Amino acid sequence: MTTPVLEARGLTKRYGRVVAIDGSDLELYPGEILAVIGDNGAGKSSLIKALSGALIPDSGEILLDGQPVHFRTPMDARAAGIETVYQTLAVAPGLDIADNLFLGREERKPGVLGSVFRMLDRGHMRSEAKRHMSELGVATLQNIGQAVESLSGGQRQAVAVARSAAFGSKVVILDEPTAALGVKEGNRVLQLIRDVRDRGLPVILISHNMPHVFEVADRIHIQRLGRRATVITPKSHSMSEAVAIMTGAAEPPPQAA
Amino acid sequence: MATTASADFDVRRNESLGLRLQHVLHSNPVFGPLAVLIVAIIAFSIVNGRFLTATNLSLVLQQVTVIAVLALGQTLIILTAGIDLSTGAIAVFSSILMATFCTKGGMPGIIALVLGLAFGTAMGALNGFLVTRIKLPPFIVTLGTLTIFFSLNSVVSNSETVRGTDMPGLMTWTGNSIPIGSFRLTYGSIIMLLLFAYFFYALSRTAWGKHVYATGDDVESARLAGIQTNRVLFSVYTVAGLLYAVGGWILIGRLASASPNVGVEYNLDSITAVVLGGTSLFGGRGSVIGTLIGALIVGVFRNGLQLGGVEVVWQGFAIGLLVLVAVSLDQWIRKVKT
């Protein structure tokens, strides 16, 4: 069996007497889209935050390419190649698309202009931004110098996903990427997620939207009561079976995938 | 810009003039203040022929210089969705410190100047520390430091004014001017214009500038995008402190003395200039060019109304109205539909 790109073993996080995650495991294999589903309070977001460095687990370990890693901040996870698109998108609405794509890792001009005057290489960042956007088939945006606030919800999501795909070298984590979108835009974003996977980046997708999950996921991790109940595939189980396991109405089957 | 315009305007062809104006102002926030400034200049020069003379215009620029420098620091802070009420206090206290170092400390001008600037920077850094580490709202922090700095100011100065002639020439050098015809350009104004040019560059062409805007836009998003927002905020308050101290130095040149009793109104005047310049009090939107125009609007209005024979009390009334109009306009522009 191949080594998981990203693996969590026995992660636990308590907030006072509340147990958010209780010895949770997770495996993400190369080239797959792993959906994480679970009822509210099942510990989905805590699990994901631990993987993206936004939360430090009390115990358990995280392995990246089989090597243990310890993330103390989201920057640590990013430096290790794990990019997360948060539900809030983490874009600056007033800045343009290129600025947003490079937000937090701007590139300076070569030579004195960059080192002494700290001048940004806007031309290069813009052409790179254009390249990343069109690689993901988001060429519909006419102008890379357009403020993000002038974009639709789906286009903003596309910018955020493009950013993670452009800079993520190992894993892309998407938190509810289709939650606020209409049907058409939601489908565009699903295609975008497939494009990211097909470019070789495995994706963790957190979503409440069962049809979307069953449409794109290769495997589905069901989180319940702070731990992994089971992992199924869209082929092995139906949507209603998944919901039954998620809510505790049905016994989780032994891991099917 | 040109490439989007075609696509954008196709959609908006049927929109009313008002909506189109809203879009233009949204993408070019400096247009509004610039229009106000130009209209005001034209109106005042029609009312009084003396307004548009070189002598009078150089007076307007001199009157605006200190406020413009203070408003520059204030702009940085307001861009991060903060507010600084201690602006005038830091400027005046810095000027008193510089003067005191010269007179009571017997220091040479250059040492007193550098020390004064360092103290101003430290005062800004204190604001930044309280905002980022103790996590207090900027309004409360600077309300507190405003009172503290003014109180220390009275203690150090003994509430006495230091005459310019008692200080080394460097202290009042900013008030000296280069004549260009009958227009007198003071060194203080030159410093002010250079500072605006520098910060225009820093905000629009460096990563630091992008981070200032992103932090002001949405601090949580900026943090998640990997920006060390606390460092950005601390740098902004610290740099603003330095700018206020420079403003204090220019103030000595302007008054030809260092007086502890001026500057109370500078806090609000600096905010006025920023707001008139189209920078949003909610953070993330605005520019230093707008602030320069905003400061000029205040100067032109005060001077023009003065020449028009309007009493000082009514000048304040007019400026206040302008501020309310500017903020309402900002609210309207922010509601832009896309």
Contact (CB, 8 A) for A198 and A230: no
Closest by Cβ to B222, choosing from A92, A117, A149: A92
B1 in A contact zone (CB under 8 Å): yes
**Tokens 């992008």, located at residue:** B210
- What tokens appear for A203 in the block? 């994706």
A-interface mutation test, from B1, B22, B80, B221, most A Cβ less than 10 A away:
B221
Contact (CB, 8 A) for B113 and B98: yes
pLDDT, tens digit (0-9, with 9 covering 90-100), for A138-171: 665 567 888 888 888 888 888 888 888 888 889 9
CA-based nearest residue in chain A for residue B223: A90
- The alpha carbon of residue A201 is apart from the nearest alpha carbon of chain B, in Å, by 20
Residues in chain B: 338
- The alpha carbon of residue B157 is apart from the nearest alpha carbon of chain A, in Å, by 39
Helix (H, G, I), strand (E, B) or coil at B185: strand
Contact state of A78 with B285 under an 8 Å Cβ cutoff: no
Q: B266: alpha, beta or left, given left = phi > 0 and alpha = psi -120 to 50? A: alpha
**What does the H/E/C string look like for chain A?**
CCCCCEEEEEEEEEECCEEEEEEEEEEECCCCEEEEEECCCCCHHHHHHHHHCCCCCCEEEEEECCEEECCCCHHHHHHCCEEEECCCCCCCCCCEHHHHHCCCCCCECCCHHHHCCCCECHHHHHHHHHHHHHHCCCCCCCCCCCEHHHCCHHHHHHHHHHHHHHHCCCEEEEECCCCCCCHHHHHHHHHHHHHHHHCCCCEEEECCCHHHHHHHCCEEEEEECCEEEEEECCCCCCHHHHHHHHHCCCCCCCCCC
Angle at the Cα of B319 from the Cα atoms of B313 and B320, rounded to 5 degrees: 90
A and B: number of Cβ contacts within 8 A: 80
Contact state of B226 with A122 under an 8 Å Cβ cutoff: no
pLDDT, tens digit (0-9, with 9 covering 90-100), for A18-54: 888 998 999 999 999 999 999 888 888 889 889 988 8
pLDDT, tens digit (0-9, with 9 covering 90-100), for A61-72: 999 999 999 998
Helix (H, G, I), strand (E, B) or coil at B184: strand
Contact state of A93 with B217 under an 8 Å Cβ cutoff: yes
Residues in chain A: 257
What does the DSSP 8-state code read for residue B161?
Answer: P
Task: Determine the Cα–Cα distance for residues B315 and B40; give it in Å rounded to an integer.
Answer: 14
Contacts of A92 in chain B (CB under 8 A): 210, 213-214, 217-218, 221-222, 225, 284
Closest by Cβ to A90, choosing from B3, B201, B225: B225
**Tokens 């005042």, located at residue:** B44
pLDDT at A173: 93
Beta bridge partners of A219: A34
Contact state of A142 with B3 under an 8 Å Cβ cutoff: yes
Helix (H, G, I), strand (E, B) or coil at B257: strand
Contact state of A147 with B214 under an 8 Å Cβ cutoff: no
A248 pLDDT tier (thresholds 50, 70, 90): confident
Picking from A115-119, A234-238, B163-167, B201-205, which range would have the lowest pLDDT averaged per residue? A115-119
Task: Enumerate residues 146 to 175 of chain A having a beta carbon within 8 A of any beta carbon in chain B.
Answer: 146-147, 149-152
A99 in B contact zone (CB under 8 Å): yes
pLDDT, tens digit (0-9, with 9 covering 90-100), for A71-108: 988 888 988 999 988 877 778 888 888 898 888 888 88
A256 pLDDT tier (thresholds 50, 70, 90): low
Mean pLDDT of residues grouped by 10 in chain B (338 residues)? Answer: 36 66 77 88 89 91 95 97 96 96 91 96 97 95 95 92 89 91 91 97 94 93 88 97 97 92 86 92 92 94 87 84 83 69
Contact (CB, 8 A) for B210 and B196: no
B-interface mutation test, from A103, A116, A156, most B Cβ less than 10 A away:
A103
Contact state of B222 with A90 under an 8 Å Cβ cutoff: yes
Task: Determine the Cα–Cα distance for residues A96 and B327; give it in Å rounded to an integer.
Answer: 24
Task: Determine the Cα–Cα distance for residues A204 and A200; give it in Å rounded to an integer.
Answer: 13
Contact (CB, 8 A) for B94 and B116: yes
Task: Determine the Cα–Cα distance for residues B118 and B97; give it in Å rounded to an integer.
Answer: 10
The model's pTM: 0.86
Judged on CB neighbours under 10 Å (0-12, 13-18, 19+), A221 is buried
pLDDT at A1: 62
Closest by Cβ to B213, choosing from A75, A92, A104: A92
Helix (H, G, I), strand (E, B) or coil at B283: coil
Task: Determine the Cα–Cα distance for residues A228 and A214; give it in Å rounded to an integer.
Answer: 18
Contact (CB, 8 A) for A134 and A144: no
ipTM score? 0.80
